[in-house]
């Protein structure tokens, strides 16, 4: 048994799998073939359907006519919007962590949402499928949930020390455990049958240049989405050499980066609303 398998064995209950995400993802690229199935898959969960319709009818989306069923929501708001909301509602369940010093579930969830919208804005700028990158951004730090559940206080302390010493968390993890949260998260997503492009985006989100050629752009996109999320509170991360490296990797001009940041800024209200769910 390798070290990460041992880690999984240590947790009594793994985070609940967001089972809807892998089922809804194929329709992102082919909705026509999957429309009825998609509607049924959402409707089968009455609690999720109720929340989804409530959000679609909220002041934020403000539809011309009240939406009373999933089919109508998809037709009015568009499948991308419904997919994003359904994946947030499904994903939010798996971000529950023990409340120990240094571990802040709410903070990690909000950062995940912001990174999801950040990765999506970068995907749009470089022509990748936005919903897929949104999901990769949403789940990129899920490995931290596994580590917090398995190691509790000890992991909280590692997070506190990393902040105090200004060391990236993934490097502190590698020093302490021999692996990092990106690899742990990718292994969890493989167990959950999340599509391989998303798994690669998560696995390489701190080291996009290590990703295989076919997933390099995806990993770079999540890496940049993560940077843009951090830049909301700490604009100085935009001076980081790693930030400039990934911008160069994606061949993005300064104007394009600014557009991505503005697009992420436009999602501020929806992030606020969904971070309280
Ligand atoms: Fe990370
Ligand atoms: Fe992150």
7, containing H or E segment: helix 3-10
Query: Architecture of domain 2-274 in CATH?
Result: Orthogonal Bundle (1.10)
Helices vs strands, H then E, count in the chain: 17, 0
Q: Please check the confidence at residue 12 and state whether its pLDDT lies above 80.
A: no
User: With contact defined as beta carbons under 8 Å apart, do 67 and 57 qualify?
Assistant: yes
User: With contact defined as beta carbons under 8 Å apart, do 134 and 55 qualify?
Assistant: no
Instruction: Tell me the C-alpha distance between 50 and 277, whole Å.
Output: 13
User: With contact defined as beta carbons under 8 Å apart, do 118 and 264 qualify?
Assistant: yes
CA–centroid distance, residue 60 to ligand 2 (Å): 26
Closest by Cα among 275, 96, 129 to 198: 129
Sign of CA dihedral 12, 92, 137, 87: positive
Q: How far is CA 82 from CA 72, 190, 267, in A?
A: 11, 24, 15
93 or 201, higher pLDDT: 201
Instruction: Tell me the C-alpha distance between 164 and 172, whole Å.
Output: 12
What are the two backbone dihedrals, phi and then psi, of residue 3, each rounded to the nearest 5 degrees? -60, -40
For the chain, give every domain's residue range: 2-274
**Chain centre distance of CA 188:** 14
- Average pLDDT (133-148) is 97
Q: Note the ligand closest to the C-alpha atom of 208.
A: 1
CA–centroid distance, residue 80 to ligand 1 (Å): 25
Residue with tokens 């499928």: 129
Q: Note the ligand closest to the C-alpha atom of 137.
A: 2
- Identify the pLDDT of residue 189: 97
Q: How far is CA 215 from CA 96, 201, 211, in A?
A: 29, 7, 6
- Average pLDDT (181-186) is 98
Helix (H, G, I), strand (E, B) or coil at 179: coil
Mean pLDDT for the chain overall? 93
Q: Which two tokens stand for residue 256?
A: 């394009």
Q: What is the pLDDT of residues 199-241, one digit of tens each?
A: 999 999 999 999 999 999 999 999 999 999 999 989 999 999 9
Quote the DSSP letter at residue 65.
S
Residue ranges with CB less than 5 Å from ion ligand 1: 141
CA–centroid distance, residue 226 to ligand 2 (Å): 5
Within 8 A by CB and 6+ apart from 185, the residues are 139, 140, 141, 142, 143, 144, 146, 202, 203
- Identify the pLDDT of residue 277: 59
Q: Note the ligand closest to the C-alpha atom of 181.
A: 1
- Left, alpha or beta for 178 (phi > 0: left; psi -120 to 50: alpha)? left
Q: Which two tokens stand for residue 246?
A: 């990934």
- Identify the pLDDT of residue 58: 84
Instruction: Tell me the C-alpha distance between 92 and 104, whole Å.
Output: 14
- Identify the pLDDT of residue 63: 64
CA–centroid distance, residue 205 to ligand 1 (Å): 7
At 13, the pLDDT band (50, 70, 90 cuts) reads: confident
Q: What is the pLDDT of residues 43-64, one digit of tens each?
A: 999 999 999 999 888 877 766 7
CA–centroid distance, residue 272 to ligand 1 (Å): 21
Within 8 A by CB and 6+ apart from 60, the residues are 269, 270, 273
CA–centroid distance, residue 115 to ligand 2 (Å): 7
CA–centroid distance, residue 52 to ligand 1 (Å): 28
């Amino acid at each position: 048994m390798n070290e990460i398998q041992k880690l999984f064995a240590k947790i009594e209950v793994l985070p609940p799998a967001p089972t809807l995400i892998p089922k809804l993802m194929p329709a992102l690229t082919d909705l026509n073939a999957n429309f009825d199935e998609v509607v049924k898959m959402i409707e089968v969960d009455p609690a999720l359907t109720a929340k989804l319709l409530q959000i679609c009818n909220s002041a934020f989306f403000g539809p011309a006519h009240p939406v009373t069923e999933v089919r109508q929501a998809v037709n009015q708001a568009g499948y991308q919007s419904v997919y994003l909301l359904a994946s947030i509602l499904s994903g939010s369940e798996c971000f529950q962590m023990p409340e120990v010093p240094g571990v802040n579930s709410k903070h990690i969830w909000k950062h995940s949402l912001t990174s999801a919208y950040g990765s999506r804005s970068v995907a749009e700028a470089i022509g990748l499928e936005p919903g897929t990158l949104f999901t990769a951004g949403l789940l990129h730090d899920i490995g931290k949930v596994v580590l917090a559940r398995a190691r509790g206080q000890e992991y909280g302390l590692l997070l506190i020390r990393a902040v105090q010493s200004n060391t990236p968390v993934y490097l502190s993890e590698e020093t302490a455990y021999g692996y990092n949260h990106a690899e742990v998260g990718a292994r969890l997503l493989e167990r959950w049958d999340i599509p391989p492009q998303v798994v690669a985006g998560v696995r390489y989100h701190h080291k996009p240049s290590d990703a295989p050629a076919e997933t390099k752009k995806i990993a770079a996109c999540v890496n940049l989405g993560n940077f843009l999320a951090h830049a909301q509170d700490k604009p100085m991360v935009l001076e980081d050499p790693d930030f400039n490296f990934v911008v160069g990797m994606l061949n993005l001009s300064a104007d394009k980066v600014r557009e991505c940041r503005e697009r992420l800024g436009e999602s501020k209200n929806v992030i606020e609303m969904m971070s309280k769910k």
